[in-house]
Every structure is written in structure tokens, then in C-alpha cells.
Amino acid sequence: MSEGVEWALHSCVNLAWIGPDRAVSAARLAAWHELPAAYLNKQLQALARAGILTSSPGPRGGFRLARPLAAISLMDVVAAVEGPEEAFRCAEIRQQGPGAAQAPEPDQGANQGVGQGGGQGAECAIAHAMARAELAWRQALAAQDLDGIRQQAERQAPEAAERLRAWLAEQ
């Protein structure tokens, strides 16, 4: 997963702390954490395309949350930044080289181990395990919303929201 996901998640929480009435530029959000503005802008644009943020052009333009943090899951942000593709892509290397899978013998069926036959039609044990793990990971991210993250951040650093608002007011 790219660091852009972390940046996007922090930006969403920061925008919640700033409030719905103020749009903030990518450059200002990037400056708060000393991030490259152009790269953060790409992440913010991806969030806007996904309907997580809104974007307005112009000197007073910038980004705002498009919906409450409670309606944004961690998976929403991950999918917006990383795309919907699965993290693991099976290349079927078991079908290549001298160890290539052979058609299963009649009494073995799909009970083959990794690298031991399995035939063209049997699912790769590794691909199957990775798909199960990815599903669990996606479900866990989908079950956690950004408002819970905001609440935890405020417990850990109660002054963070006010420091951000004060810093923006100075600018």
C-alpha cells in the first residue's frame, strides 16, 4: 500500500477538524505535515473523484469533506487511492517450468498441495489463501469509519485539532 493512503486518511481527519465551512488547498494540507504538495494533491483528487471530498477551484478554493467522517470507511479511502484491484495477483507460476502442474490423477482431484499437480482447473492453494486474507482485510477496513479514527486521534492528542486551526488562521 502506498504512503498516499496514510496521507489521504490524515487529510480527511484534518479537514474534519478544520470544519465544513472552510476549503483548504492541497498545498496548505501538505505543509501541515511537510509533504510534497503535488503528490498529496493527486491523493486528494482521487478522494474527490470517489465522492469523499469536494474540490473547488480558485484563490479561495480547495478541498472539503463531501460527507461526514462516520460515513467514510477506511476501505473507501484505500479504494479511492489504490484502486479496486486486489493486492495479490496470482500469475499461475505453478503452470510454468519443469515443476508445471499436471492434470490430477483420478483419485487425487483438487486435494493437491502447493507445487504438486493440481491441474489446470484446480485453484492454486496460495491464490485461495491470499484471496481469503484479502477479503478479511477489506472487511475489517470497511467496518471502521474515519470518525472512530478522529475520536482516537483526539484522545491521543487532545490539542491537535486546535493546533491545526490556529496554524491555518496564522496563514
7 and 34 in one domain?
yes
94 and 118 in one domain?
yes
Q: Which domain holds residue 7?
A: 1-72+145-171
Average pLDDT, the chain: 88
Residues 83-98 pLDDT 10s: 988 888 888 888 888 8
Tally of structural domains, the chain: 2
Residues 32-70 pLDDT 10s: 999 999 999 999 999 999 999 999 988 888 999 999 999
Per-residue confidence band for 103, with pLDDT thresholds at 50, 70 and 90: low
**Closest residue by Cα to residue 10 from 68, 55, 77:** 77
Residue 137 belongs to some domain of the structure: yes
Question: pTM of this prediction?
Answer: 0.81
128 and 65 in one domain?
no
Q: Which residues contact 33 (CB under 8 A, 6 or more apart)?
A: 7, 10
* Cβ–Cβ under 8 Å, residues 72 and 142: no
